[in-house]
């Protein structure tokens, strides 16, 4: 049953959020337009986000997958969202999800526009990422998305190398 406003009070909602992982940071964006009274409380293993937008009140409490350094973490507000940059306590460790629980949350999704496989590259040097993508394409990685709108290693696909032939379907 939905919460109904009582005596002028409105129910608290969960703000829609999307997240992505990097080598040293985890980024979380709360998609709330024209937010006011923004409050972000950071602890080493959880954080809380609260704000008001119009007549709606938002509150998200998140038990994090890993630990963060609250003093090195920050947030910023724009007219369209509140972005949180959480410094990992253990840099270089991948987070397979944002939350400690494996449960799915309707309000939380992965930000695929910013997600990248950082284990095989660095922010400054994309060449190893390109090499990894090329290697996967050469290994028959036809299911991989076209990451930059072009073909990786297109010249190499023209060779008559027997390793590049399509494998027969398994029966």
Confidence of residue 167 (pLDDT cuts 50, 70, 90): low
Nearest partner of 149 among 165, 133, 164, judged by Cα: 133
Q: 78, exposed or middle or buried, with CB in 10 Å at 0-12, 13-18, 19+?
A: exposed
Residue 27, H or E segment: strand 25-30
115 has pLDDT over 50: yes
Distance between CA atoms of residues 73 and 38, nearest Å: 16
Averaged pLDDT, 148-155: 43
pLDDT at 74 over 70: yes
**Angle (CA) 52 54 58, round 5°:** 30
Q: Is the pLDDT of residue 78 over 90?
A: yes
Residue pair 88/96 in contact by the 8 Å Cβ criterion:
no
Q: Please give the model's pTM, rounded to 2 decimal places.
A: 0.64
Cα separation, 154 vs 151, in Å, equals 6
User: How would residue 120 be classed by pLDDT, with cut points 50, 70 and 90?
Assistant: low
Supply the mean pLDDT for the chain: 77
If 0-12 CB within 10 Å is exposed, 13-18 middle and 19+ buried, where does residue 169 land? Answer: exposed
List Cα–Cα distances, 48 to 28, 45, 70, 111, 164, in angstroms. Answer: 12, 11, 12, 19, 51
Using pLDDT thresholds of 50, 70 and 90, give the confidence band for residue 41.
very high
Structural domains of the chain sorted by starting position, each given as residue range(s) with its CATH number in brackets: 9-90 (2.60.40.790)
Rounded CA-CA distance 71/13 in Å is 27
């Amino acid at each position: 049953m939905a919460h109904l406003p009582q005596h002028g009070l409105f129910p608290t909602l969960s703000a829609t959020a999307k997240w992505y992982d990097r080598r040293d940071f985890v980024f979380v964006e709360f998609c709330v337009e024209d937010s006011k009274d923004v409050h972000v409380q950071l602890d080493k293993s959880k954080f809380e986000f609260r704000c008001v937008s119009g007549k709606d009140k938002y509150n998200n409490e998140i038990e994090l997958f890993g630990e963060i350094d609250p003093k090195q973490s920050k947030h910023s507000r724009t007219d369209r969202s509140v972005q949180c940059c959480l410094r990992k306590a253990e840099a270089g460790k991948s987070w397979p999800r944002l939350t400690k629980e494996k449960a799915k949350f309707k309000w939380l999704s992965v930000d695929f526009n910013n997600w990248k496989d950082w284990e095989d590259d660095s922010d400054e040097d994309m060449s190893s990422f390109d090499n990894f993508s090329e290697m996967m394409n050469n290994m028959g990685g036809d299911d991989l998305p076209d990451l930059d709108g072009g073909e990786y290693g297109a010249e190499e696909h023209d060779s008559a190398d027997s390793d590049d032939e399509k494998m027969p379907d398994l029966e």
